[in-house]
Structure 1
């Protein structure tokens, strides 16, 4: 069951935060393929590139729309510093997401910790 806090957070992200941040050229974006529409879906997020991997934590875990899209098709793109990279996303429920957040950029991690209700680590193996 979705809490009021979750509903408000998701509404603010979808209709305010994501709309603004997705237009910023420096913002990291995750592009998945819509599991129903087949259309590209872009989500602003925070994370960190480590070698040929990009790590981030989903604040709503398996209930995040982009996580559901990844489960249907793990082939994604990530925009880092204005450049798009193709990759394959892996959901890592066995990873300690709270510990992972400590290794990621703190501004985004603070928001994920504050509003997140079901944290899930995601790793994208970058191809290019």
Structure 2
């Protein structure tokens, strides 16, 4: 996909789509979505973003729409220890970027097909991220 399209999608999500959804996910009121907190690779400050997930026990699966162009993916690559907001509370976790994962098969495993459709529509460089919660929630 073109760099121009990636920038347009990023701006739309950052300023229009994500803010209200992040508030709902933070409160635990948006099923299939979490707030993910990484450590900024340049600033060292906490960075929060909303992501759609598929939960399998203590493992969460995320398909990053912008792949390695996503700030949170770059932050995970630099520091895989993260926190996730699950059911209205913070949980420590470890994240792994899976370059070789079959993204189409991963998306097929998601329960929320509306979310899958949006990922496919807005995604420019799909990439799987595996999140393992430390507390086993």
For Structure 1 versus Structure 2, the TM-score category normalised by the shorter chain is: over 0.9
Are 1:110 and 2:117 an aligned pair? yes
Shift of 1:81: 2.3
Question: Structure 1 residue 50 and structure 2 residue 56: aligned?
Answer: yes
Task: Quote the RMSD (CA, aligned, Å).
Answer: 1.4
Which blocks of at least 5 consecutive residues in structure 1 are unaligned?
none
Secondary structure of the corresponding residue to residue 23 of structure 1: helix
Structure-1-length-normalised TM-score? 0.93
Q: Give how far 1:2 is off.
A: 4.6
Deviation (angstroms), 1:4: 2.5
User: SS of 1:36's equivalent?
Assistant: coil
- 1:23 Cα shift? 1.2
Equivalent pair of 1:98/1:119 in contact (CA under 8 Å): no
Q: More displaced, 41-50 or 79-88?
A: 79-88
Partner of 2:15: 15
Contact 1:33/1:40 (CA < 8 Å) preserved in 2? yes
Distance, in Å, in 2 between the alignment partners of 1:83 and 1:102 is: 28
CA contact (8 A) 1:29 1:79 kept: yes
* TM-score between the two structures when normalised by the length of structure 2: 0.87
Q: How many residues align?
A: 128
1:97 aligns to 2:103 (yes or no):
yes
Write out the 4+ residue segments of structure 1 that deviate beyond 6 Å after TM superposition.
Answer: none
Question: What is the Cα deviation at residue 97 of structure 1?
Answer: 0.7
Q: Give the 5 Å matches for 1:26-65.
A: 26-27=29-30, 28-65=34-71
